[in-house]
Amino acid sequence: MFTACNDDELKKVETVKLQQEALNANRTFGAEVIYSDSAKVKAKGFAPVLDKVTPKTGGNYQEMPKGVKVEFYDELQASKGTITSEYAIMKETEQITIFRKNVVVINANLTFNTEELVWNQNTKTFTSPKGIITKPDGTVINAINFTAPEDFSTVAFENAYGETYIKGDLTQ
């Protein structure tokens, strides 16, 4: 059996070859990233695998395909909360980090479960299209368009529904 390529087919191969995007990726195992402000550690991120990717077209990003855990610290360097997810990507140009798959935020005021959480470094806020807020008193809220400052001191959401517990006698 014989196969032949004519000039037109070779031109197609060259066109496809030129359209491929060149990437430069560096992989780190057991990565720890420290976020600080005014020489104070604000958070530490731990990822089993951290890929630093530099596309030929620009727009560097860091990808954590095996998940990430971020621990937040107060002024006294005591832990004040965590975020964990099965996947995350930090887009350097856009200054955002997107946490995906089984995202869990835990602090003293709430536990927030969602499938996607976005941290915007410019606005210093977290947003999520939807998720479940669980408060220490057992209140459960299904929240749409969740928003919180980066310390999760307050939360805002729309179209919420859920179950809450009220202390005291309501018959009086």
Residue 76 belongs to a domain with what CATH number? 2.60.450.10
Place 108 in a pLDDT band, splitting at 50, 70 and 90.
confident
pLDDT digits (tens, 9 = 90+) for 111-155: 999 999 999 989 999 999 999 888 888 888 888 899 998 888 888
Q: How many domains does the chain have?
A: 1
- The answer to whether position 143 is within a domain reads yes
pLDDT digits (tens, 9 = 90+) for 75-88: 777 788 899 999 99
Question: Quick check: 80 and 108 in contact, CB under 8 A?
Answer: yes
Range of the domain at 114: 23-163
Rounded to the nearest 5°, which phi and psi values hold at 7? Answer: -60, -35
Question: What is the C-alpha radius of gyration for the chain, rounded to an integer number of angstroms?
Answer: 23
- The answer to whether position 172 is within a domain reads no
- The answer to whether position 4 is within a domain reads no
State residue 46's pLDDT score. Answer: 94
- The answer to whether position 171 is within a domain reads no
- The answer to whether position 3 is within a domain reads no
Contacts 24+ apart (CB under 8 A), 105-109: 105/81, 105/152, 106/81, 106/82, 107/72, 107/80, 107/81, 107/82, 107/152, 108/80, 108/81, 108/136, 109/135, 109/136, 109/152, 109/153
Give the pTM.
0.76
User: Whose CA is closest to 79, among 53, 37, 121, 41?
Assistant: 41
